[in-house]
Amino acid sequence: MQNPTPHILVVDDHSEIRNAVCRYLEKHGMRASMAKDAKEMDAALVSGSIDLIVLDVMMPGEDGLSACKRLSQTGDVPILLLTALDEDMDRIIGLETGADDYLSKPFNPRELLARIRAILRRSSRTVSPAGSLAGKRIRFAQWILDSDRRVIVDEEGRETSLTSADFKLLVVMLERARMVLSRDQLMELTSGRATAPLDRTIDNQISRLRRKIEKDLLRPRLITTYRNGGYCLSADIEVLET
């Protein structure tokens, strides 16, 4: 549950940026803590209740993209990535691995504050990333999704773990099985934001999910593409007894 005063963890190896961002957030009614790298970030997450992480991509040691992927697999703390201005791939990979939003450096502090508030509003409205499928096991085609454990199980009992982004996308499509969903709809339903021009985030996420659930990537049968329409999960679903 989100704290009355949101607690933001700012992770950046540049002390000037850390200090400036924390001062600005505290000035606008938030509690802010700092970490200079992923190691200090992990310690802060253990010792305090964090509502959102502002995470720089370029850091010594474990970089922000690796830390984002790791955190998205083990928890639900929202993450806002800070990326270099021209690193489009960092933004795409970050969103694929579980980041909730990104902001390019250099940035306007007012925009950072607005992005943080928007993410906090979305996370406070979201009871569970599993949506209506929380606590359930769902069969689709040759797979079973275990929503509590965030794994899919094949017909021979072999398990495949899902990243946070994979899981959110699959849940959205299972809840709307056999419906064609546009890229804009998928972006809104999975991330709560609109697609930008030439934004390939959803296409890349679909490709990643297909690699996990399709038997033949050249002829996908579970997630089908509709030209100028979007994507559709072409399978019936069955909620299994727990």
Mean pLDDT across 211-233 = 91
Average pLDDT across the chain, whole number: 86
CA-based torsion, 128, 212, 195, 74: positive or negative: positive
In 3D, which of 1, 8, 57, 55 has the Cα closest to residue 29? 8
C-alpha to C-alpha distance for 191 and 213, rounded to whole angstroms: 22
pLDDT: is 233 or 94 the higher one?
A: 233
Please give the angle made by the CA atoms of 183, 121 and 189, to the nearest 5 degrees.
20
Q: What is the tens place of the pLDDT at every residue in 70-113?
A: 887 766 788 999 987 555 666 667 666 778 888 888 899 999 99
DSSP state of 132: G
The two tokens of residue 227 are 């030209």
Q: Is residue 1's pLDDT more than 50?
A: no
Q: Is residue 28's pLDDT more than 90?
A: yes
User: Rg for the chain (alpha carbons), in Å?
Assistant: 19
Q: Is residue 187's pLDDT more than 80?
A: yes
Does the N-terminal peptide bond of residue 106 adopt cis geometry, omega within 30 degrees of 0? Answer: yes
Q: What are phi and psi of 80, to 5 degrees?
A: -110, 120
Mean pLDDT across 194-216 = 83
Question: What are the structural domains, with CATH classification, of the chain?
Answer: 7-125 (3.40.50.2300), 131-240 (1.10.10.10)
3-state helix, strand, coil in the chain (%, to 5): 40, 20, 40
User: How many DSSP H helices and E strands does the chain contain?
Assistant: 8, 12
Q: Is residue 56's pLDDT more than 60?
A: yes
How crowded is residue 50: how many other Cβ atoms within 10 Å of its Cβ?
20
Q: Is residue 18's pLDDT more than 90?
A: yes
What percent of the chain has pLDDT above 70?
Answer: 86
pLDDT: is 188 or 34 the higher one?
A: 34
Q: Is residue 48's pLDDT more than 50?
A: yes
Most confident of the following: 21-25, 66-70, 207-211: 21-25
**pLDDT tier at 67, thresholds 50, 70, 90:** very high
Q: Is residue 129's pLDDT more than 70?
A: no
**Residue 19: exposed, middle, or buried by beta-carbon count in 10 A (0-12, 13-18, 19+)?**
middle
Mean pLDDT across 172-186 = 92
Q: Is residue 29's pLDDT more than 70?
A: yes
Lowest mean pLDDT among 54-68, 105-119, 120-134: 120-134
The two tokens of residue 146 are 């275990």
At 90 the pLDDT is 64
What Cα–Cα distance (Å) separates residue 1 from each residue in 28, 48, 76, 120, 128? 21, 14, 11, 11, 11
